[in-house]
Chains A and B, each alone.
Chain A
């Protein structure tokens, strides 16, 4: 599903990623661990074509993302759901409208939009808040709306960048359960986090980045001091 081959990336002289090679299978749930500045966000941005590697190649569903034309990038992003730490929800639009955005840009039919948005909102448990502004929701609820938006068009991959950064331990556990549920439906899930507590909760394959370098794999629950 996702393959990185000898990928390196630098900003000015600062190395963000160095010679990273990894493979994520279809339907896997992978934790990408590492402290702030380890290169996790850079790696995720590369997977959605937001950044290009200086060296190496990145494949998503067999497509070479590092060589994608700018005009092809939007179509790649439609296959990948992204969950942001800061949610990136539009306060002037309702929860329903926020979640409908990925379907609107794909010119889905009105009936499809209504059906899929309600399905996604139900899946994350905020369907009863569909007419409210995201600003009136709690942090946990806002994160769920963000996840609903990421999964509304049935992506093959779900990427989450520090999704628990703004949540308390209880909400973090709920969120991880939600990711597991999404993963159980066949979506490949990649969660980037620096929170060792998440690793304990997930108990799946863990890839750790340290100063841009990928260190040997562990399994979630084995270690909590990453």
Chain B
């Protein structure tokens, strides 16, 4: 097992020999990845919000004023029997008026001049789990519009769509920024590895001449890259967590956004692990780039 010990010790020696460069590489990689993390965190939280809103989506099926009581019950039965529907609540014309007055007390005089109650009766439909996606809701609404006695179908999809658009925009920005900053991280780590390669060029040459395989020579540098990437991304997570908690404290103390602080959340553990793994991957990529440039691996 001395060979394994040798590889780990070589990687450790690389990190220790260029101590200042190692620290600078970790810190710069951390800030670079933290920038990517900000976009990722915004993206994750907006997606959660969108999913939460989508789960809470309600479809309002307005009824034709001319529909009889018998037809209303028939339609209610039809809606309840639909496998895409989880719940149906009937709102009569009177209830609708009552709700309007309760919600907009200062505007209730607007309806008084009209004499007859202009608000239609409706069914508030909750889509079943698995049928809450924008596509499914849209398809169901199209179908409901064709049902007998239905005057209009409405749902709060517009601003959910707007939110989805914003999420897509952030997603694309995160990908773009992520790619650019990842390349920067690869370059930063790659340059650190190059210094290690330069410092150990004599040893590399000897190893080659005494029969070390290309893999044997490269492994310490891959390990070094992986350690730099992992430390950088772990530090980035720490910076993000600190920033996130400060942000949550700020919105909590501001008072105007009360409740939001409980809706936003940090990355789950699985994502934190994936973040560090990606950092390690970028570190190894930096090593590969440097080893290629250095020309190591000649026969």
A contact set with B: CB distance below 8 Å: 48-50, 70-71, 73-78, 82, 88, 90, 100-102, 104-108, 110, 113, 149
Complex: A108 Cα to B214 Cα, angstroms = 18
Q: B205 to chain A: closest CB distance in Å?
A: 7
Q: B10 to chain A: closest CB distance in Å?
A: 10
Q: B279 to chain A: closest CB distance in Å?
A: 30
Q: A140 to chain B: closest CB distance in Å?
A: 20
Residue from A100, A106, A110 in contact with B211 in the complex, judged by beta carbons closer than 8 Å: A106
Residue from B202, B216, B299 in contact with A105 in the complex, judged by beta carbons closer than 8 Å: B216
Using A49-B299, A104-B2, A110-B2 as known contacts, say yes or no to A75 and B205 having CB atoms under 8 A apart: no
Q: A109 to chain B: closest CB distance in Å?
A: 8
Contacts of A90 in B (CB 8 A): 202-203, 206
Q: A42 to chain B: closest CB distance in Å?
A: 15
Whether B159 sits at the interface, judged by CB under 8 Å, is no
In the complex, are the beta carbons of A149 and B210 less than 8 A apart? yes
Whether B1 sits at the interface, judged by CB under 8 Å, is yes
Q: List 18 A-B contacts (CB under 8 A).
A: A48-B209, A50-B299, A70-B299, A74-B208, A74-B211, A74-B213, A75-B211, A82-B209, A88-B202, A90-B202, A100-B2, A101-B207, A104-B2, A104-B3, A105-B3, A105-B211, A110-B1, A149-B210
In the complex, are the beta carbons of B2 and A78 less than 8 A apart? no
Contacts of A101 in B (CB 8 A): 206-207, 210
Closest residue of chain B to A98 (Cβ to Cβ) is: B206
Closest residue of chain B to A78 (Cβ to Cβ) is: B211
Interface size on B (CB < 8 Å)? 19
Contacts of B207 in A (CB 8 A): 101, 105
Q: A74 to chain B: closest CB distance in Å?
A: 5
Contacts of A104 in B (CB 8 A): 2-3, 6
Contacts of B214 in A (CB 8 A): 70-71, 74
Complex: A84 Cα to B100 Cα, angstroms = 96
Whether B97 sits at the interface, judged by CB under 8 Å, is no
Whether B79 sits at the interface, judged by CB under 8 Å, is no
Whether B212 sits at the interface, judged by CB under 8 Å, is yes
Complex: A88 Cα to B203 Cα, angstroms = 9
In the complex, are the beta carbons of A88 and B299 less than 8 A apart? no
Closest residue of chain A to B297 (Cβ to Cβ) is: A70
Contacts of B206 in A (CB 8 A): 88, 90, 101
Q: What 4 A-B pairs are tightest by C-beta distance, nearest first?
A: A78-B211, A77-B211, A105-B212, A73-B299
Complex: A48 Cα to B298 Cα, angstroms = 13
In the complex, are the beta carbons of A88 and B2 less than 8 A apart? no
In the complex, are the beta carbons of A113 and B212 less than 8 A apart? no
Contacts of A88 in B (CB 8 A): 202, 205-206, 209
Q: B141 to chain A: closest CB distance in Å?
A: 63
Complex: A73 Cα to B212 Cα, angstroms = 9
Contacts of B211 in A (CB 8 A): 74-78, 102, 105-106
Using A90-B203, A110-B1 as known contacts, say yes or no to A77 and B6 having CB atoms under 8 A apart: no
